[in-house]
Amino acid sequence: MGDGAIDLAAAAAERRQRASVVARGAASRRRRWELVGESALEWLIRLCGVSAIVFVFGIFFFVLREGAGFLFHGLNLRQFLFSTEWYPTSQSNVRYGVLALIVGTFSVTTLAMLIAVPFGLGAAVFVSEFCSRRMREGLKIVIELLAAIPSVVWGFIGLGVLNPLIQKVFRVPVGLNVLNGALLLALMSVPIMVSIGEDALKAVPDSYREAALALGATRWQIVYRVLLPAAKNGLLAAVLLGVGRAVGETMAVLMATGHAVNIPHSPFDPVRTLTATIAAELGEAAAGSQHYQVLFIIGILLFSITFVVNFTADLVVKGIRKR
């Protein structure tokens, strides 16, 4: 009886040992595969990161190559930047001045942001802090729908809805102007600001809200004394993404701003933007011609503008974060 027990115990021990040897082999094989898989994944991720940089530089060099010939030989840079005369197809006296286009881009974008930032941030605060849960879900669906509308459709809304509306409300002869384009851009960038801004506000821990509540703060005091300071980085990112959307937008502003090369004196003047010019004229310009090259030089200009905007934004964000 006693011997039997010992035998059993020994057998069990042996079995366990054998099992553990097998297991160890499997484990080491698995570990090797894990290692291979892990380094493969690491390389893949690195490749993705590098390719993003390569693409950006690739695009830049492509654009530069297309425009370089005329940019370095023949283009009067002073005229290009400071003249408002854009006559790229004139037979007798060709002039390539893009000042009006630059001013057009800036006026539409700036007005759009003046409209969109308060609305976007206000809506983000409302959705995240003042809404019942059911209403929030509904609003979020609407906002995501808004974000998904293609820009050509926005262009049609500008032509068909805003145009007559602006004519009627402001009693102006033409409704295709800075205001129209800015309203469209605002409508297009508000959804981005709302969803990113709401995320930023939701990321503020509830314990902050409750601590402020216990100190006798009203809901508004909680918003502007606690939430806005706590979420300022995220909110700034929301605004900047909205600006990015507005600067880069082409189709809608092409259709809605009246397409007249003109320095605007009021929001009711028609303008033309840099992006719209490229989109409208590239198809007609003969490949390799001066006109064609100038359009690419405008592309380089846009590139530089976005770069400067992003860079300053970066500095601003870093500055805020440091404080």
Partner 1 sequence: MVMTADSPGKKIEVDGLRLRYGAKEVIHGISFHVEPHEIFAIIGPAQSGKTSLLRCINRTIEFTAGTRVGGKVLVDGEDVQQVKSVYELRRRIGMVAPLPVGLPLSIYDNVAFAPRAAGVRGKDDLDGLIERCLRQAALWDEVKDRLDSLGTKLSGGQQQRLTIARALSHQPEVLCLDEFSIAIDPVTTMRIEDVLKELKNEMTIILVTNLVQQARRLASRTMFLWNGNIVEVDRNEVIFSDAPASKHTLDYVNGIFG
Phi-psi region of 263 (alpha: psi -120 to 50; beta: other; left: phi over 0): beta
Of 265 and 323, CB closest to partner 1: 323
| Beta bridge pairs of residue 33 | none
Options 17, 28, 221, 266; binder of partner 1; rule CB under 8 A: 221
Query: By three-state DSSP, how is residue 284 classified?
Result: coil
322 contributes a contact to partner 1 by CB under 8 A:
no
In our burial notation (b when 16+ CB lie closer than 10 A, e otherwise), range 21-58 reads eeeeeeeeeeeeeeeeeeeeeeeeeeeeeeeeeeeeee
Of 31 and 219, CB closest to partner 1: 219
131 contributes a contact to partner 1 by CB under 8 A:
no
Contact 180, 256 (CB under 8 A): yes
133 contributes a contact to partner 1 by CB under 8 A:
yes
95 contributes a contact to partner 1 by CB under 8 A:
no
Of 116 and 226, CB closest to partner 1: 226
**CA distance linking residue 298 with residue 295, whole number of Å:** 5
Options 48, 53, 148, 214; binder of partner 1; rule CB under 8 A: 214
Per-residue tokens: 299 = 């592309």
229 contributes a contact to partner 1 by CB under 8 A:
yes
Of 119 and 208, CB closest to partner 1: 208
230 contributes a contact to partner 1 by CB under 8 A:
yes
How many angstroms separate the Cα of 64 from the Cα of each of 59, 82, 300, 304, 323? 8, 21, 7, 12, 39
Write down the least CB distance from residue 239 to partner 1, Å: 19
Write down the least CB distance from residue 167 to partner 1, Å: 48
Question: What are the start-end ranges of the E strands in the chain?
Answer: 86-87, 95-96
212 contributes a contact to partner 1 by CB under 8 A:
yes
272 contributes a contact to partner 1 by CB under 8 A:
no
* Residues written for the chain: 323
Of 217 and 241, CB closest to partner 1: 217
Of 202 and 291, CB closest to partner 1: 202
Binding residues (CB under 8 A) for partner 1: these are 133, 206-218, 221, 225-226, 229-230
